[in-house]
Amino acid sequence: MKVLLDTNVILDVWLAREPFWKDSAILLAKVEKKQMEGWICPTTITTLHCLGKKVLGEQKTRELLDKLISICKVGKMSRQTFKRALESQISDFEDAVIEAVSIGNNIELIATRNIGDFKKSEIPAKEPSQIN
């Protein structure tokens, strides 16, 4: 199964955010063990860097990003990706980009804690605890 990991799922693990981090860590472990194919949106990398360095520091954030891109595939983006996001039924543009990247890379599922944000998504969304 091809699963795109939303930014909040990764931050939950990196920052050990209660009570979410355990379910997100289980999901990331499945990706690392190749029990499912993990994907991330390219914009997630820059967002994680921006947020991570403030809390974890530059070096630790870079180390975590390096590990993340070694276990996850990074979705491809193009002008068409952004056009699709602009035309999406999802009102939040960042989430619309995640949906568009998922569509363009044939992703089957979006893993997020904010499934309500993806109600109008063409790709189904589930919380990490709901993904087997």
Domains of the chain: 2-130 (3.40.50.1010)
- pLDDT above 90 (res 98): yes
Would you state the pLDDT for residue 46?
A: 96
pLDDT for 132 beyond 90: no
Q: Find out whether 31 and 40 touch, Cβ atoms under 8 Å.
A: no
The radius of gyration of the chain's CA atoms, rounded to the nearest angstrom, is: 14
Burial of 13 (0-12, 13-18, 19+ CB in 10 A): buried
Nearest to 80 by CA among 59, 57, 101, 50: 101
* Alpha carbon 78 to its chain's center: 18
Write out pLDDT tens, residues 10-63. 999 999 999 999 999 999 999 999 999 999 999 999 999 999 999 999 999 999
User: Model's pTM, two decimal places?
Assistant: 0.94
